[in-house]
Amino acid sequence: MELNQIKNNLLSGKASFDKDEADQFVHELVDAIKNNSVVQSVETINLWAEIFIALIHSGFLYEFLEKISENDILKFIKRLLNAEIVPIGCTKLSHEILNILRYPMFLQKIYGKEEWEKVILELIQKSNYSLSDLLKQRVRDYPNKSLFHITNSSGTRIVTWKEFEYHVNGMKKMLFNLIPDKQNYQVHFSFLLENSIEMASLDIACLTSGFVNVLIPANSVAAHVEYILNETKVPFLFVNDERQLEKIKAVKNHLTHLKKIILMNGSGSDENTSSIEVEINAASKNSLENRKDTEVNISSLATVMYTSGTTGFPKGIMFTHENIIYKRFCRAMAIPWLGEMDRFLAYLPLYHTFHQISL
């Protein structure tokens, strides 16, 4: 079957087939993966990318993942990785293959097989696959699916992928508005925050914009906060509330690089302290159209996480974008039974590396 016909069948959906026709079609799709020359042209590569995108929404995904062998997918990927062709097409297809590989039905097939760790890393590296790419895929594939269930004394609030993207974009506008040089991606932002949807949005806003964020454990004492801010030379600090702000006030005269504090909860009490609402509103009319996430290079520094509970002063652990995105796949390969239908209870702080890779 020709690739265009495969794509059209996927777009028509599983409901348009009877059982025998559906089974036959899945076999033909598997045969196409096994036998088709993926690197014939840029057009062929782009067509394969469209096929993988359509597969997620077609109703055929689980039947396909059940029938395809890991070796056939592996050979398909290696043909792509070895292709000497325009890299833009290869990038798009690599991203969609990575999107398919995350499903438990396939992850269980490759559990414990070290070769796949290397292949997935190579796909990430050659296609510069970042958290920005991952987030766009999730919003595209699950716009109205719940991402967070936030429970408190008032009840449970559900945040969908589309709503989360909206929050992230609002935070991104604010970050760009804060820096005096709009092209200065070397500016660091620091968080002294506790778990919240706002912290998650702010974190992802940094990681998908190329800004480095410095995560300070919320239980840090004032002396440790001073040490971290001076070591990283952070000009902008997001603080959870007045209680956390007291730590900053205690050492403020020693913070030579800090220019502005933004309170997540509260209004601020001096000219160098502002509220998150004021800053978001000030940037709300700005556009993100000229801000290209593709400027993020996965080999560049993404975040600095400071340890808590260690002896002496906290230790800053530096993570590149590649570290973070690859760790997300490594976690999936280590516990392949967890998937999109499972719900996670978040009790670790969001400044912990495990929660930064939970998308």
Backbone phi, then psi, for 151, in 5-degree steps?
-110, 130
Helix, strand or coil for residue 159? Answer: strand
Is residue 286 pLDDT above 50, yes or no?
Answer: yes
Q: What is the mean pLDDT of residues 125-145?
A: 94
How many whole angstroms separate alpha carbon 229 and alpha carbon 217? 12
Write out the residue range of the structural domain in which residue 233 sits.
Answer: 140-356
- Can you give the pTM of this predicted structure? 0.90
* pLDDT at residue 203 is higher than 90: yes
Is 9 inside any structural domain?
yes
Cα first-last separation, the chain: 35
Rounded to whole angstroms, the Cα distance separating 219 from 26 reads 53
In this prediction, residue 339 has a pLDDT band, given cuts at 50, 70 and 90, of confident
- 8 Å CB contact between 203 and 191: yes
The answer to whether residues 118 and 152 belong to one domain is no
- Beta strands (DSSP E) in 118-263 are 146-152, 155-160, 188-192, 212-215, 236-239, 260-263
Helix (H, G, I), strand (E, B) or coil at 130: coil
191 touches 214 (CB < 8 A): yes
Residue-wise pLDDT for 75-122, tens only, equals 999 988 887 655 556 889 999 999 999 999 999 999 999 999 999 999
Q: Is residue 185 pLDDT above 80, yes or no?
A: no
Considering the domain architecture, whether residues 157 and 199 belong to the same structural domain is answered as: yes
Instruction: With a cut of 90, say whether residue 213 has pLDDT above it.
Output: yes
339 and 218 within one domain: yes
Our count of domains for the chain comes to 2
CATH number for the domain that contains residue 319: 3.40.50.12780
User: Is the per-residue pLDDT at 359 higher than 80?
Assistant: no
Whether residue 133 is contained in a domain is answered as no
Q: What's the chain's average pLDDT?
A: 89
